[in-house]
């Protein structure tokens, strides 16, 4: 039978994702300004930026193909879809059965694929450079991500995300070195995928140092609004994914509204703390040279593999 | 008696640390080694008359196998001390060693003897490891005594490679303790040879197999088995000659002793001949690689170091074959090789001193220049390559007999190795002893006694085996079944 | 402390020791190496102390204290003082590239797990699962010695190997007999003295501590 309450949960989660993602980005930027002793523009500045961009005119290059025009919509849509899979406030999601963590990684790959193509579409030098860098990094980051995710799935005996979260939330308190390694690897991949320091400085305006920003240099107007919004949602999703897998306590298991409210409150508190940690990492580390990124990502892969080996050896 | 034999060398080590640069320090060194030898002979008599004995709360154990090695060690160290007296005096005159180095040299010499005797006489596998490591450590800085770039390189390689190797042996010892603990209970008793040899069939075979691999890598590095032999030619050729003599003659024997004790345990536990086969394989490989390497040598001490590797390979191979003939041959080989190799190093050392270089192309006319050194050298070389009537012929003949009997397919390989070594050494030695005296040769007062003593013993052993010696060996063979 | 909790903490310590072993493999700066080595010694002594506490084998406390003194405090300090005296501050380059070294390291971990699994099945100790980690640490120390060309890092690799061996003794058998452990500690101390002296000799003779310069003893010349 069709269970409406779980659909409502799903819709609620998507709504939270759409509306709260810019706030999370705003929180991160605000705290960063606080740490660096600058005046901050407020948590709601990203909202103002998106609204501003929607009202602006779209400028397209003459040789832009359909890929360039459709990519923002594809990216936005897939990001929203991913948001529907990850348990944010509740585990009871009907869409969750359609995709497990491996498919999740594939969905991120789709976003990356189209963005890279769009970067090369116009034919400018910076776009192509950004695309090639992005693909290189992705080819190293994806194995690390998969390995970290496998390590966690080993513990839960399943790759379905809701199942993993359920096992983690209701399991006993056991000191598991494999999870610690997987968490470290996941953090390193998170920084890579969302384009934060030490991989890529999101606030840079020097095109030669850009990786992600270089691919979207040519966008304007509502296209840029959608892509920026999708980028904020990606940050939100990755952080929420990490929280859901590694510290999921407080997440609602049923569609009881009180439990979901509690789940929501827990989520926001954890995200706030996560934002603080992110800013501390960003402020404390320096950007790694591009050529050293292979070592950085190699270490992430190493940590994840160590986690997997620890699972077999020590547990 | 046990405590006496060990404490003498330890006492002299400490003494010489303070007085090592006196005028009569070499004589004190000789006195210490002679006292150790006397104690060793007394110990051997005790064991010969009364059978194996334990001492020091089961800490030490003396049976026929290790007491004969202990006597050999103390004997060769005594004769080397006699040789070292003349040799180091000359080195001091040439200015290659100063005050502190002499003190250090003499103290470490005695400490080294102490470590070797401790390794031979202890009952505890853990202490065996500790004393092997101590023996290595006490000689590392002696190899680099002359502080030349090559000497430091040799000592560094020695330190690192032997350190790594012996760390593997420690892991093997841990695994051995693990297996022993299950049968003998927790505590120091579980590492005692006397207990382990009795319960060897009850020890877990899988664990002991793994342990033996590590022990083989570890102690095999110290024996100089190929492919873990890279440190040996460098270390044995760079230090002062007395040190090369004791390293080649004695330390390799002690390492082989440790390896053979482990092999007895492992073969007793697994019931197969796995350990023996491994020893055979590595031994044969060492013989062949070393023999062929001998052809390319230019430095005299380096050449004889490769010859040490080859001879240790022969002994290892023989221990691997097992059985009474091969084991008897191996024991005899260890004995005569020690004596021959140290004698050769004595003469080679003097030859190098006379010519101011160790390169064989520059050494000529030894017989004309210094007849004792020259003739001793050629006879030493003849003995080393295994010509009758010297002792090495007897031991190699026995080993060949056992090979034809137990592993006939390997006989051609063994013969090949021995033959190539024969040709290689002879090819190099012959031009060195014959011919006119070159202009750069300086005369010196050589140490005659040690060389002549060793060569005489080797000759006697080649012709006639004294009764007590063959009894001894038979007892040892019985232990190594 | 209950037995399962102690086993878990021990596993965590083992994982951290393995992590520091990998860290030593990929770290480029010598000061970083010293810190990592000190941390490894610290985790090792904590692990030994926990095992001693839970199993009642009291001489492990002495071993733990010895490890703490030597490997966490004394040896890193000696190395640091040596480095200051010899004025070594720069980075070191390894011979094999770092991602390649990492992959070989992972392969070694899997290999040591495979080697020690029969023993792990046989053992009935609390600490049996950590024997694979101990052997892996030994092998990683070995790998570090092979891939590095600086004398100080080779020595640190050697000491890391000894750490692994000590850990193996605790995991397989609740520690070797006291005599043996004291002897091993003594040997290590003498080895430390010797390599300290060595650094001076190498530095004065070769004017650098690059081991690759010491390759003159060969047959050809």
Min Cα separation B471/chain C (Å): 35
Beta-carbon pairs below 8 A across chains A and C:
58
Q: Which of A2, A8, A158 is nearest to A89 (CA)?
A: A8
The count of other CB atoms within 10 Å of the CB of residue C32 is 14
Which residues, 6+ apart, have CB-to-CB distance to A1 below 8 Å? Answer: none
Is 90 exceeded by the pLDDT of residue A255? no
Domain range list for chain A: 4-314
Q: Is the CB of A305 inside 8 Å of chain C's CB atoms? A: yes
Q: Do chains A and B touch (3 or more CB pairs under 8 A)?
A: no
pLDDT at C3: 66
Which position has the token pair 């026995």?
B398
Q: Is the CB of A294 inside 8 Å of chain C's CB atoms? A: yes
pLDDT at A172: 67
pTM for this structure? 0.84
Which position has the token pair 């006119």?
B436
Say if residues B69 and B110 touch (Cβ distance below 8 Å).
no
Q: Which two tokens stand for residue C208?
A: 């650098």
pLDDT at B53: 78
Say if residues B30 and B163 touch (Cβ distance below 8 Å).
no
> In sequence order, what are the beta bridge partners of B192?
B124
Residue of A nearest to C16 (CA): A177
Q: Do B126 and C176 touch (CB under 8 A)?
A: yes
Say if residues B231 and B158 touch (Cβ distance below 8 Å).
yes
pLDDT at A30: 93
Q: Which two tokens stand for residue A41?
A: 């523009």
pLDDT at A135: 92
Between CA B145 and CA B152 the distance in angstroms is 8
Q: Which two tokens stand for residue C197?
A: 């002296």
Cα-only R_g, chain A: 19
Reduce the DSSP state of residue B240 to 3 states and report it: coil
Spell out the alpha helix ranges (H) of B189-299.
193-198, 205-223, 231-238, 241-246, 252-270, 274-294
Between CA C199 and CA C135 the distance in angstroms is 28
Residue C215 vs residues B149, C105, C207, C220: alpha-carbon distances, Å: 10, 26, 15, 12
Q: Which of B287, B289, B224 is nearest to B253 (CA)?
A: B224
pLDDT at C216: 65
The pLDDT of C157-166, averaged and rounded, is: 90
Domain range list for chain C: 3-213
Residue B122 vs residues A24, B61, B99, B109, B260: alpha-carbon distances, Å: 71, 6, 35, 20, 15
Is 50 exceeded by the pLDDT of residue C160? yes
Which of B143, B146, B164 is the best mutation test for C, with the most CBs of C within 10 A?
Answer: B164
Q: Which two tokens stand for residue B172?
A: 């093997």
Residue of C nearest to B141 (CA): C194
The DSSP code sequence of A41-63 is --TTHHHHHHHHHHTSPP---TT
Q: Which of C111, C123, C144, C179 is nearest to C36 (CA)?
A: C144
Give the pLDDT of chain B (481 residues) as one tens digit per residue: 677 777 777 888 788 777 777 777 888 888 888 888 888 888 888 888 887 777 777 778 888 888 888 889 989 989 998 888 888 888 888 877 777 888 888 888 888 988 998 898 888 888 899 999 999 988 888 888 888 888 888 888 898 888 888 889 999 998 888 888 888 777 767 788 888 888 878 888 888 888 899 999 999 999 989 888 889 998 888 888 889 899 988 999 999 999 998 888 888 887 778 888 889 999 999 999 999 988 888 888 999 999 999 999 999 999 998 888 889 999 999 999 999 999 999 999 888 888 888 888 888 888 888 888 888 898 899 999 888 888 888 899 999 999 998 888 888 999 999 999 999 998 888 888 888 888 888 887 777 888 888 888 888 888 888 887 888 888 888 888 7
Which residues, 6+ apart, have CB-to-CB distance to A51 below 8 Å? Answer: none
pLDDT at A157: 82
The DSSP code sequence of B126-165 is HHHHHHHHHHHHHHHHHHTTT--HHHHHHHHHHHHHHHHH
Say if residues B174 and C176 touch (Cβ distance below 8 Å).
yes
Between CA A38 and CA A36 the distance in angstroms is 6
Of A181, A298, A301, Cβ closest to residue C15 = A181
Q: Compute the mean pLDDT over every residue in chain A, rounded to the nearest whole number.
A: 86
Say if residues C127 and B178 touch (Cβ distance below 8 Å).
no
Say if residues A65 and A121 touch (Cβ distance below 8 Å).
yes
pLDDT at A63: 86
Min Cα separation C172/chain B (Å): 6
How do residues A13-51 score in pLDDT, each as one tens digit? 888 889 999 999 999 999 999 988 888 888 899 999 999
The DSSP code sequence of B206-236 is HHHHHHHHHHHHHHHHHHT-TTS-THHHHHH
Reduce the DSSP state of residue C14 to 3 states and report it: helix
Q: Which two tokens stand for residue B378?
A: 């050629």
Chain A residues within 8 A of C16 when measuring between CB atoms:
177
What is the separation of C-alpha B396 from the centre of its chain, rounded to a whole number of angstroms? 17
Between CA B191 and CA A67 the distance in angstroms is 75
Between CA C132 and CA A175 the distance in angstroms is 19
Between CA A305 and CA B11 the distance in angstroms is 55
DSSP state at residue B95: T
Q: Do A314 and C14 touch (CB under 8 A)?
A: yes
Q: Which two tokens stand for residue B39?
A: 């104690």
Is 80 exceeded by the pLDDT of residue C174? no
The DSSP code sequence of A60-100 is --TT--HHHHHHHHHHHHHHHHHHHHS-SSBS--GGGGG--
Q: Which of residues 176-195 of A touch C (CB under 8 A)?
A: 177-178, 180-181
B435 conformational bin, left if phi > 0, alpha if psi -120 to 50, beta if neither = left
Residue C160 vs residues A237, C22, C114: alpha-carbon distances, Å: 41, 11, 21
Between CA B45 and CA B472 the distance in angstroms is 11
pLDDT confidence band for C221 (50 / 70 / 90): very low
- Let me know if A76 is exposed, middle or buried by CB neighbors in 10 A (0-12, 13-18, 19+): buried
> In sequence order, what are the beta bridge partners of B54?
B61
- Let me know if C41 is exposed, middle or buried by CB neighbors in 10 A (0-12, 13-18, 19+): buried
Which residues, 6+ apart, have CB-to-CB distance to B396 below 8 Å? Answer: B314, B329, B333, B386, B418
Q: Which of B439, B324, B270, B459 is nearest to B380 (CA)?
A: B459
Say if residues C152 and C30 touch (Cβ distance below 8 Å).
yes
Of A174, A302, A310, Cβ closest to residue C15 = A310
Of C122, C172, C186, Cβ closest to residue B174 = C172
More confident residue, A182 or C150: A182
At residue B233's C-alpha, the angle toward residues B232 and B237, to 5°, is 115
Between β-strands B60-62 and B53-55, what pairing exists: parallel, antiparallel or unpaired? antiparallel
Say if residues A179 and A307 touch (Cβ distance below 8 Å).
yes
How do residues A108-135 score in pLDDT, each as one tens digit? 999 999 999 999 988 888 889 999 999 9
Between CA A63 and CA A99 the distance in angstroms is 37
Residue of C nearest to B235 (CA): C217
The pLDDT of C177-201, averaged and rounded, is: 82
Which residues, 6+ apart, have CB-to-CB distance to B434 below 8 Å? Answer: B365, B367
Report ipTM (2 d.p.).
0.89
Phi, psi of B343 (to 5 degrees): -60, -45
Chain C residues within 8 A of B159 when measuring between CB atoms:
194-195, 198
Q: Do chains B and C touch (3 or more CB pairs under 8 A)?
A: yes
Q: Which of B274, B263, B257 is nearest to B223 (CA)?
A: B257
A128-167 core/surface letters (b: 16 or more CB in 10 A; e: else): bbbbbbbeebbebbbbbbbbbbbbbbbbbeebbbbbbbbb
Is 60 exceeded by the pLDDT of residue A244? yes
Q: Which of B393, B409, B388, B413 is nearest to B286 (CA)?
A: B413
Which position has the token pair 């010293």?
C34
Q: Do B167 and C161 touch (CB under 8 A)?
A: yes
Between CA B97 and CA B101 the distance in angstroms is 6
Between CA B78 and CA A275 the distance in angstroms is 76
Q: Do A306 and C22 touch (CB under 8 A)?
A: yes
């Amino acid at each position: 039978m069709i269970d409406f309450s779980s659909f409502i949960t799903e819709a609620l989660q998507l709504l939270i994702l759409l509306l709260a993602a810019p706030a999370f980005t705003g929180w991160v930027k605000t705290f960063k300004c606080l740490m660096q002793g600058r005046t901050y523009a407020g948590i709601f500045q990203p909202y103002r930026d998106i609204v501003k961009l929607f009202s602006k005119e779209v400028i397209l290059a003459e040789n832009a193909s359909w890929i360039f025009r459709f990519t923002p919509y594809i990216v936005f849509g897939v990001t929203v879809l991913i948001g529907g899979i990850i348990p944010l406030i509740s585990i009871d999601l009907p869409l969750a059965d359609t995709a497990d963590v491996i498919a999740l990684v594939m969905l991120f790959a789709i976003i990356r694929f189209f963005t890279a193509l769009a970067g090369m579409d116009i034919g400018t030098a910076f776009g192509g450079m950004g695309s090639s860098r992005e693909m290189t990094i992705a080819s190293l980051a994806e194995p690390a991500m998969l390995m970290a995710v496998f390590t966690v799935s080993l513990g839960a005996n399943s790759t379905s995300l809701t199942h993993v979260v359920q096992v983690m939330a209701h399991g006993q308190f056991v000191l598991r070195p494999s999870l610690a390694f997987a968490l470290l690897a996941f953090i390193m991949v998170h920084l890579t995928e969302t384009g934060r320091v030490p991989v890529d400085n999101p606030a840079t305006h020097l095109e030669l140092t850009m990786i992600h920003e270089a691919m979207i240099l040519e966008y304007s107007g509502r296209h840029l609004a959608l892509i920026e919004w999708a980028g904020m949602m990606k940050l939100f999703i990755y952080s929420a994914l990490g929280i859901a897998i590694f510290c999921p306590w407080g997440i609602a298991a049923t569609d009881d509204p009180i439990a979901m409210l509690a789940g929501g409150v827990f989520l926001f508190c954890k995200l706030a703390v996560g934002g603080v940690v992110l800013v501390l990492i960003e402020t404390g580390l320096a950007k790694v040279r591009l050529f050293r990124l292979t070592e950085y990502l190699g270490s992430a892969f190493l940590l994840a593999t160590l986690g997997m080996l620890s699972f077999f050896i020590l547990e | 008696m046990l405590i006496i034999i060990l404490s003498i060398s330890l006492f002299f080590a400490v003494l010489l640390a303070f007085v090592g640069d006196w005028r009569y320090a070499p004589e004190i060194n000789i006195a210490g080694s002679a006292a150790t030898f006397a104690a060793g002979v007394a110990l051997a008599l005790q064991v010969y008359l009364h059978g194996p004995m334990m001492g020091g709360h089961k800490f030490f154990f003396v049976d026929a196998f290790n007491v004969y090695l202990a006597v050999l060690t103390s004997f060769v160290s005594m004769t080397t001390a006699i040789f070292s007296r003349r040799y180091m005096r000359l080195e001091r005159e040439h200015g290659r060693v100063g005050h502190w180095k002499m003190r250090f040299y003499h103290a470490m010499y005695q400490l080294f003897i102490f470590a070797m005797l401790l390794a031979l006489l202890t009952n505890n596998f853990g202490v065996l490891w500790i004393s092997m490591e101590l023996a290595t450590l006490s000689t590392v800085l002696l190899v680099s005594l002359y502080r030349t770039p090559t000497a430091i390189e040799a000592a560094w390689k020695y330190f690192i490679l032997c350190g790594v190797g012996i760390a593997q042996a420690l892991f093997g010892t841990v695994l051995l303790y693990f297996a022993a603990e299950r049968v003998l209970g927790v505590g120091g008793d579980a590492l005692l040879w006397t207990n382990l040899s009795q319960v060897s069939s009850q020890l877990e075979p899988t664990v002991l197999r793994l342990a033996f691999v590590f022990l083989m890598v570890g102690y095999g590095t110290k024996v100089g088995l190929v492919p873990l032999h890279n440190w040996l030619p460098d270390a044995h050729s760079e230090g002062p000659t007395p040190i090369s003599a004791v390293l080649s003659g004695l330390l390799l024997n002690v390492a082989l002793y440790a390896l053979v004790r482990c092999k007895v345990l492992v073969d007793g536990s697994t019931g197969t001949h796995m350990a023996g086969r491994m020893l055979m394989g590595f031994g044969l490989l060492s013989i062949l690689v070393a023999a062929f390497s001998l052809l390319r040598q230019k430095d005299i001490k380096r050449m004889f170091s490769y010859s040490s590797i080859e001879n240790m390979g022969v002994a290892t191979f023989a221990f691997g074959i097992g059985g009474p003939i091969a084991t008897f041959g191996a024991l005899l080989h260890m004995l005569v090789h020690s004596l021959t190799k140290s004698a050769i190093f004595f003469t080679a050392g003097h030859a190098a001193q006379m010519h101011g270089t160790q390169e064989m192309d520059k050494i000529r006319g030894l017989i004309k220049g210094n007849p004792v050194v020259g003739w001793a050298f050629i006879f030493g070389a003849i003995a080393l390559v295994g010509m009758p009537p010297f002792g090495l012929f007897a031991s190699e003949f026995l080993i060949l007999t056992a090979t034809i009997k137990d592993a006939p397919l390997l006989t051609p390989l063994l013969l090949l190795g021995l033959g190539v070594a024969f040709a290689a050494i002879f090819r190099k030695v012959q031009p060195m002893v014959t011919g006119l005296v070159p202009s750069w040769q300086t005369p010196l007062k050589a140490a005659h006694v040690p060389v002549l003593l060793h060569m005489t013993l080797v000759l006697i052993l080649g012709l006639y085996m004294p009764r007590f010696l063959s009894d001894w060996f038979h007892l040892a063979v019985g232990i190594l079944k | 402390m209950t037995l399962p909790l102690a086993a878990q903490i021990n596993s965590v310590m083992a994982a951290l020791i393995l992590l520091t072993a990998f860290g030593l493999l990929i770290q480029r700066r010598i000061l970083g190496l010293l810190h990592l080595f000190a941390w490894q010694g610290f985790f090792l002594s904590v692990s030994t102390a926990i095992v001693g506490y839970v199993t009642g084998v009291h001489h492990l406390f002495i071993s733990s204290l010895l490890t703490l003194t030597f490997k966490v405090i004394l040896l890193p300090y000696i190395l640091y003082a040596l480095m200051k005296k010899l004025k070594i501050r720069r980075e070191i380059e390894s011979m094999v590239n770092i991602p390649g070294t990492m992959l070989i390291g992972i392969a070694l971990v899997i290999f040591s797990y495979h080697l020690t699994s029969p023993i792990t099945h046989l053992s009935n100790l609390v600490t049996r699962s950590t024997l694979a980690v101990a052997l892996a640490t030994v092998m990683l120390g070995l790998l570090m010695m092979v891939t590095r060309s600086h004398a100080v890092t080779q020595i640190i690799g050697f000491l890391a190997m000894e750490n692994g061996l000590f850990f193996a003794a605790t995991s397989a058998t609740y520690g070797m007999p006291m005599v043996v452990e004291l002897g091993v500690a003594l040997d290590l101390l003498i080895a430390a003295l010797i390599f300290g002296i060595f650094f001076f000799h190498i530095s004065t003779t070769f004017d650098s501590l690059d081991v690759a310069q010491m390759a003159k003893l060969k047959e050809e010349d």
